Amino acid sequence: MDLIRVSKVEQMRLVRSGNNTEYVGTLHLTTHHMIFSAGDLELWIPYPIIHSAVLVRPPRRDSDDNVHAVYTEEQALEGAIRIRCHHFLFVTLRCADIRRLYDVFATVKHLACVGSLEQLYAFDYRLDTADDVKVIEYDAHAEFRRMGVGVTGGVGQHWRVSEINREFQLCATYPPVVAVPARISDTTLTYAARYRSKARLPVLSYLHPNGASMTRSSQPMVGLKQARSVQDEKLVEAIVATSEPAGMVPRFRSERNNIIIDARPTTNAVVNRAIGAGSENMDHYRQCRKVYLGIDNIHVMRDALNRLADAAVDAADVSATASDLGHAEPAGMMARIQSSRSSWLNHLQNILVGVKTIVEAIDA
């Protein structure tokens, strides 16, 4: 493949953060994986899980132009490729042949940044068709039957399976088969979907054996004029009605607690009204109460996680450098994490509190 400048490099050196051991082995670059092997160690890194790769060139010498510079082996080892993966693996690669190191970096850069979806490994992978290989395909109808949807006399008798989203005509991000209250027609679903962002109307995600359900949806298109949808309100009302099967006695409360969960902070929900969205007006949703979980959006969460990861790897690098120089470690990992102000633990707390709220509401 033209993108692979070098497919194999001997005497490559690798160090993983958190482990000061330097491994000397062979690096293989394939179309979809970077593979490092040294003795008992065999490390496979698929290109899509690479978050970033940074080339650190050796320090410039006065006589060098940094392009056609010639380095001794000792000088070349001052250069490195620092790779950070999405699953928090941090590796540093070094090579005595600086040109080989540059070729490795160019290859990884091109293979990690594919130009089309079809270039991903999943489209090249061929499943073994031997008789002893059992292929398990997901069956939405079977999964709904397992939960009891549509079973006469069971907790799911008031639910039905709808194929209204066949060919993804109603909602591009929902599956073709969805479960909805039996008394709600597909026509009502069509109108209700218009009231939800990207047509993600409330549909069943999980049905508990006690009859309680967890449904999912996107935010309603309320806007500044406080728009409403009678069809959406009827759909939510029907969902609430399915959670009161005869003979079921609540475990934690005297009556079933119907909650509309808004995962966002209250401020975010209010601000979204300016763009035509927002949150449910509880005056129109009977027998329900609303709970805001205060979980920030994906961009804030990702930034917090990146700050945490950067602080952890920086602390590990400082510790390793101090150890190599025989100096005392200037700051511990926890101190660096705290100074990073990532607020990651606060985000986790909000998520776990939300999980507790949902579990107690369902398993009541």
Are residues 18 and 63 located together in one domain of the fold?
yes
Nearest to 179 by CA among 189, 191, 192: 189
Asked if pLDDT for residue 316 goes beyond 60, the answer is: no
For residues 171 and 165, the answer to whether their CB atoms sit within 8 Å is yes
Are residues 154 and 284 located together in one domain of the fold?
yes
Given this model, what pLDDT does residue 315 score? 56
Given this model, what pLDDT does residue 331 score? 53
Q: What is the mean pLDDT of residues 206-229?
A: 94
Given this model, what pLDDT does residue 49 score? 93
Given this model, what pLDDT does residue 256 score? 63
Are residues 214 and 114 located together in one domain of the fold?
no
Are residues 153 and 284 located together in one domain of the fold?
yes
Are residues 178 and 234 located together in one domain of the fold?
yes
Are residues 264 and 334 located together in one domain of the fold?
no
Q: Which residues pair with 38 in a beta bridge?
A: 41
Are residues 109 and 178 located together in one domain of the fold?
no
Q: What is the mean pLDDT of residues 304-330?
A: 61
Tell me how far apart the alpha carbons of residues 33 and 8 are, in angstroms, rounded to a whole number.
Answer: 12
Instruction: Give CA 353 to chain center in angstroms.
Output: 19
Tell me how far apart the alpha carbons of residues 337 and 307 are, in angstroms, rounded to a whole number.
Answer: 8
Domain limits for position 82: 8-124
The predicted-structure confidence for 53-90, as pLDDT tens digits, reads as follows 999 988 866 555 555 566 777 777 888 999 999 888 89
Mean per-residue pLDDT of the chain = 85
Structural domain ending residue among the three candidates 62, 94, 124: 124
Q: Please provide the size of the chain in residues.
A: 364
Asked if pLDDT for residue 168 goes beyond 70, the answer is: yes
Whole-model pTM?
0.75
Structural domain ending residue among the three candidates 124, 150, 171: 124
In a domain, 357, yes or no: no
Are residues 145 and 88 located together in one domain of the fold?
no
DSSP letter string over 46-104?
A: EGGGEEEEEEEPPPPPTT--SSS----HHHHTT-EEEEEETTS-EEEEE-SSHHHHHHH
Are residues 200 and 258 located together in one domain of the fold?
yes
Q: Are strands 41-46 and 33-38 parallel, antiparallel or unpaired?
A: antiparallel
The predicted-structure confidence for 227-251, as pLDDT tens digits, reads as follows 999 999 999 999 999 986 555 555 5
Structure tokens at 178: 């969805």
Number of domains in the chain: 3
